[in-house]
Amino acid sequence: MKERIERLKKLTYIPQNEIAWLIEQAELAVKQREIIEENKRQQEVTVHQFRQAQKDIQHLSGDRKRYKQALEKIITNLNFAITVAQNELEGDVK
């Protein structure tokens, strides 16, 4: 392709078929550029979605940890309440 372009640069008159080839090459270059730009845009969207998913996972992990701690406190309090109730029942039975 480079050789053909160099040969065309040297010509003072460019035949119609060569002009058609040049136009075709220019159109292909434009299409390729559009495809590359679309791929870059899609890549940026994917990266953004991935980063957002990472943030969501971190947030959910933090929520899970807080819920687990709260549930452990509730279980501890319930166990204490059961022990107190059992002691009271034992005291009433005696």
52-93 pLDDT per residue, tens: 999 999 998 888 889 999 999 999 999 999 999 999 888 876
Count CA within 13 A, CB hemisphere, residue 38: 6
- Count structural domains, the chain: 1
Instruction: Tell me the C-alpha distance between 66 and 60, whole Å.
Output: 10
Model confidence at 13, pLDDT cuts 50, 70, 90, reads confident
Instruction: Tell me the C-alpha distance between 66 and 75, whole Å.
Output: 14
Q: Which carries the bigger pLDDT value, residue 1 or residue 16?
A: 16
Handedness of CA 47, 48, 51, 57 (dihedral sign): negative
Instruction: Tell me the C-alpha distance between 9 and 52, whole Å.
Output: 51
Report DSSP state, residue 41: H
Q: Residues 19, 23, 17, CA angle at the centre, nearest 5°? A: 30
Please give the residue range of the domain that contains residue 47: 2-93
For range 31-48, the mean pLDDT: 97
Model confidence at 7, pLDDT cuts 50, 70, 90, reads confident
The amino acid occupying position 78 is: L
